[in-house]
Amino acid sequence: MSELTRISLAEARDLLGKKELSSKELTEAHAAAVEAARPLNAFITETPDRALAMAEASDARRARGEAGLLEGIPLAIKDLFCTEGVLTTAGSHILDGFQPTYESTVTANLWREGAVLLGKTNLDEFAMGSSNMTSHYGGAENPWRRSDSNAKLVPGGSSGGSAAAVAARCALGATGTDTGGSIRQPASFSGIVGLKPTYGRCSRWGIVAFASSLDQAGPMTRTVRDAAIMLRAMAGHDPKDSTSVDRSVPDYEAALTGDVKGLRIGVPKEYRVDGMPAEIEAIWQQGIDWLTAAGAEVREVSLPHTKYALPTYYIIAPAEASSNLARYDGVRYGLREAGDAPLVEMYEATRAAGFGEEVKRRLLIGTYVLSAGYYDAYYNKARQVRSLIARDFAEAYNHVDLLLTPTAPSAAFAMGEKMDDPVAMYLNDVFTVPASLAGLPGISVPAGLSADGLPLGLQLVGRAFDEETVLRAGGVLEAAAAFDAMPAFVAA
Amino acid sequence: MLIEGDTGTWEMVIGLEVHAQVISEAKLFSGASTAFGAAPNSQVSLVDAAMPGMLPVLNRVCVEQAIRTGLGLKAHINHFSVFERKNYFYPDLPAGYQISQYAHPIVGEGTILLDLEDGEVREVGIERLHLEQDAGKSLHDQDPYKTYVDLNRAGVALMEIVSKPDLRSPAEAGAYLRKLRSILRYLGTCDGNMDEGSMRCDVNLSVRRPGDPLGTRTETKNVNSIRFVQQAIEIEARRQVEVLESGGTVVQETRLFDHRSGETRSMRSKEEAHDYRYFPDPDLLPLELDPAWVAEIKAALPELPDAKKRRFMEDFGLSAYDAQVLVAEQANAAFFEAVLQGPKGRRDPKTVANWVTGAYFGALNASGVGLAEAPVDAEKLGGLLDLIADDTISGRIAKDVFEEMWQTGRPAGEIVEAKGLKQITDTGEIEAIVDKIVADNPDQAAQVAEGNQKVVGWFVGQVMKATQGKANPGVVNKLLKGKLGG
């Protein structure tokens, strides 16, 4: 494996800036890594030719003295972002052959800043899942292996392909989307950094929608600094997304002062859930100790409605999804089955064949909770609880500046585990979902290894639009953890 | 209107839901054009086609139009309203949901005044007005086996305007639709063209014994002219009475009006009714209106038909009927006021009203042209009326002159001059003619002397005939009465 794929995004940027490296060289190294990593099934579509063309164009721009924030940096893009002229699948059979004629705002922002597209990464179908196993294209594989077993592990989900690609050194960074933990949980499982920004920070325009009030794009990288650099390029107000927020985008990298003295960190007591593995408890305590040692004040806080977060999420997200996915009807694009049959049969055949089991499960749940007679008991109640959950956070932030929690209740599990128990799968999101419901920014930073050698992440959740504090404290955790373990796939 | 059934009298209770297409350049949530009649699927944005990842962005102009309409209906403007998704599957609904308003519409209760045939004015309540997207069109007649879809209309803004169940007859329903259309046109918020589908109507109707509580209603969908609305009401009310009188019960259902067969047909029952699963659209923030903006829109409202009618009656002494006819269309009222305003001050309103609503509108109708293309404009018509006012021509002659003007477009004065139609007002000249006619007809003169006043009219006719109608009728009458001693 080329040394060029082992450096960080920031290091690559600096080398490119000093003209000690061309984007072409960097991109070729990564395109080769993408190819070499095919056994991981991290990519649904590889775009090496486009990558090379973009890299050459980038080198030409740099030669003219023009350079964006990500000039010449090869990235992987979750296959939920629409990319002009490049197959966009959302991990679903129902979008067969769909090549958008448009570019999502976030990816357009990345290209505007000079980034290079390596390919489109695997994901749970329509971002519904925590394992990447619901993808129509098969699960992506985690480049990590347990120290005592050769079992193939999931990279987490739904942004599993992006996490695997970054962890396997195929890309310097990748985009993810996070609805209930889909950036943070796979980051934790794959030993990388994943940042879900505040809802409204990045435009949702051109991202295949799962649950509109929750979906948010964010960077997945190997370092906190890289996440800061990438977020700055991704973020910004977009008049095409009514829920994107018109606030200037700060220089997030400048926020990485390494100083958390006096910062008040809350540890929510309700997150000490029954049955939490001891090593998760331990890594959490380790995080508390690191931040304390760095001069932060850690104190316990209460988020009393935490226990309702997961059920609330699993009402609101499917409800929105049941409506968002109605457009996949076989009429205008993607799959059409039984095209000569009467309309309703065509609908039924197309959607029966086009959607996988998990998507169907959620569409049924979502349809049910919005139905006449059940709406108030489920959807409306969930909306009310959601506002209580948001209030919990607001109350906590009267006393602290950040919250520290584990990212996920376990390390990566094996492919095939939990597959027959949806609820066990949903429990993966128990620590990430509350911040999603409240729209708050959260980061997962690799903090250590489990007893069997798998990465474990810690999560920091901040105030709305305070990604700077999240990143600053994330940088301190990162430095203290000095996480330098390599996944088996890379080390091999 | 009461219906006499076999078992007694029934009253019909009617509420109307009108879908009025908003006048705006672009659609409610996309930048695509709304122009009527373009080639199929030529005015479809990525949002309208519900491509993956596309998001709606609210068109401010459409909101302004809804507010303007609400204010024109003297309705409460809700400063907080919410767009919700109405979910159902149909090929002409690309997203699988229509963005509409449900629990929190932009406009609440208002009123509308009906101008009824007998000159009576009746107030009808408006329940609400909300904004929503139109669907596309399914074309079933292009191919024997396939249905084609045209999405040009998909996403165009509609205002759904719901009346209270205050209407009691087809005539009232007609008056309601005409008045609503008139207000929308005054406001410039909907062109009201029912034949192009820019105004469509659903009829909610039930019958009951006068004084009883409301009966079960049916909803008759998409009735696309005022005449058909009135027919559908008549037919559906009679159907319900027959059902009830034969011991049955009216089923709450959606029905379709077939104007060819003259019947309403069941479309779907309450059990088959869609569960639309309304919920707030998470792609859109709640709509919060700045009260200052609403006030600004209110201040810029035009004078509306009711106010104009009142002014025409109060300031110009017009009858309720004349005022009503003139204000129904804003352009007609403006034409009336343009004719009223002569170069030497205000012309006589009554005369102007009579000419405009009579000869002028008659000519417009007969020739099938609009005001803008009419050969006689306000200035020319005013010129004609001035010739009457200063006794240059008589009203009788004026009718002929007007016809000539309509044919040729020439001004009245020119025609009168060229054809020598100037009225004879010289008493001496007329007296000579009168004397001759009286002398030539001693028998008739004797009849007048015996008290047969009707014969005076015969003499007037003879004089007018002798002068080709140019003698001033007042002078003729006066002279004849003197000569004949009648």
To 10 degrees, what angle do helices B395-408 and B412-419 make? 110
Rounded Cα–Cα distance for residues B416 and B398 (Å): 9
To 10 degrees, what angle do helices B473-484 and B454-466 make? 130
Question: Could you say which residues from 365 to 394 on chain A have a Cβ atom under 8 Å away from some Cβ of chain B?
Answer: 367, 370-372, 375, 379
Choose the final residue of a domain: B297, B314, B330: B297
Amino acid at site A69: L
Listed residue (A3, A8, A1, A5) closest to A483, CA to CA: A8
Res B417: pLDDT: 87
Please check whether residue B50 touches A, CB under 8 A.
Answer: yes
CA distance B154 to chain A (A): 14
DSSP state of A130: S
CATH at A112:
3.90.1300.10
Tally of residues, chain A? 492
> Does some domain include residue A150?
yes
Pair B414, B432 in one domain: no
Helix and strand totals (H; E) in chain A: 16, 11
Res B269: pLDDT: 72
Q: Do A326 and B95 touch (CB under 8 A)?
A: yes
Res B78: pLDDT: 98
Which chain A residue has the Cα nearest residue B48?
A327
Tokens linked to B316: 């110009």
Please check whether residue A82 touches B, CB under 8 A.
Answer: yes
Which chain B residue has the Cα nearest residue A327?
B95
Instruction: Assign B51 to helix, strand or coil.
Output: coil
The answer, yes or no, to whether residue B259 has pLDDT greater than 90, is: no
The answer, yes or no, to whether residue A407 has pLDDT greater than 90, is: yes
pLDDT tens digits for B33-74?
Answer: 999 889 999 999 999 999 999 999 999 999 999 999 999 999
- Domain of residue A30 covers 3-262+465-491
Pair B8, B82 in one domain: yes
Pair B250, B319 in one domain: no
| Predicted confidence band of residue B161 (pLDDT cuts 50, 70, 90) | very high
Please check whether residue A327 touches B, CB under 8 A.
Answer: yes
The phi and psi torsions of A457 (rounded to 5 degrees) equal: -110, 155
Res A1: pLDDT: 59
Res B397: pLDDT: 87
Cβ-contact A176, A183 below 8 angstroms: yes
- Over residues A464-490, the mean pLDDT reads 97
The answer, yes or no, to whether residue A492 has pLDDT greater than 70, is: no
Rounded Cα–Cα distance for residues A204 and B54 (Å): 9
Weakest mean pLDDT among A66-75, A95-104, B388-397:
B388-397
Q: Do B52 and A208 touch (CB under 8 A)?
A: yes
Catalytic residue among A22, A23, A58, A78: A78
- Domain of residue B473 covers 427-484
Q: How many domains does chain B have?
A: 3
- Over residues A25-50, the mean pLDDT reads 98
Res A176: pLDDT: 98
Q: Where are the alpha helices (DSSP H) in A37-88?
A: 48-63
Choose the final residue of a domain: B402, B419, B436: B419
Q: How many domains does chain A have?
A: 1
Rounded Cα–Cα distance for residues B126 and A295 (Å): 65
Res B452: pLDDT: 83
The answer, yes or no, to whether residue B297 has pLDDT greater than 80, is: yes
> Does some domain include residue A25?
yes
Tokens linked to A458: 């810690």
Res A188: pLDDT: 98
A23 flagged as catalytic: no
pLDDT tens digits for B317-342?
Answer: 999 999 999 999 999 999 999 999 98
pTM summary value? 0.92
A182 flagged as catalytic: yes
**Proportion of chain B above pLDDT 90, given as a percent:** 73
Res A381: pLDDT: 97
What does the mean pLDDT of chain B come to?
93
Rounded Cα–Cα distance for residues A94 and B20 (Å): 36
Pair B13, B59 in one domain: yes
> Does some domain include residue A421?
no
Pair B408, B437 in one domain: no
> Does some domain include residue A448?
no
Cβ-contact B21, B156 below 8 angstroms: yes
Listed residue (A9, A192, A172, A209) closest to A92, CA to CA: A209
Q: Is A6 exposed, middle or buried (0-12, 13-18, 19+ CB in 10 A)?
A: middle
The answer, yes or no, to whether residue B267 has pLDDT greater than 90, is: no
Dihedral angle at the C-alpha atoms of B468, B470, B476, B477, nearest 10 degrees? 90
Q: How many CA atoms lie within 13 A of A212 on its CB side?
A: 25
pLDDT tens digits for B99-153?
Answer: 999 999 999 999 999 988 877 899 999 999 999 999 999 999 999 988 999 999 9
- Select from A343, A347, A379 the Cβ nearest to the Cβ of B279: A379
Identify which has the larger pLDDT, B30 or B419: B30
The answer, yes or no, to whether residue B485 has pLDDT greater than 80, is: no
Rounded Cα–Cα distance for residues B374 and A89 (Å): 61
CA distance A220 to chain B (A): 21
pLDDT tens digits for A318-373?
Answer: 999 999 999 999 999 999 999 999 999 999 999 999 999 999 999 999 999 999 99
> Which H or E element spans position B171?
helix B170-187
Pair B277, B377 in one domain: no
| Predicted confidence band of residue B271 (pLDDT cuts 50, 70, 90) | low
Q: What is the ipTM of this complex?
A: 0.96
> Does some domain include residue A373?
no
Handedness of CA A73, A77, A82, A86 (dihedral sign): positive
Mutate to test the interface with A, among B29, B47, B54, B88 (most CBs of A within 10 A): B54
A116-121/A74-78 β-pairing: parallel
CATH at B452:
1.10.10.410
Listed residue (B125, B123, B130, B131) closest to B109, CA to CA: B125
Rounded Cα–Cα distance for residues A136 and A152 (Å): 18
Please check whether residue A439 touches B, CB under 8 A.
Answer: no
The answer, yes or no, to whether residue B406 has pLDDT greater than 60, is: yes
| Predicted confidence band of residue B262 (pLDDT cuts 50, 70, 90) | confident
> Does some domain include residue A41?
yes
A120 flagged as catalytic: no
Phi-psi region of A41 (alpha: psi -120 to 50; beta: other; left: phi over 0): left
> Does some domain include residue A349?
no
The phi and psi torsions of A487 (rounded to 5 degrees) equal: -65, 150
Cβ-contact A197, A216 below 8 angstroms: yes
What does the mean pLDDT of chain A come to?
97
Catalytic residue among A92, A159, A182, A410: A182
Cβ-contact B421, B412 below 8 angstroms: no
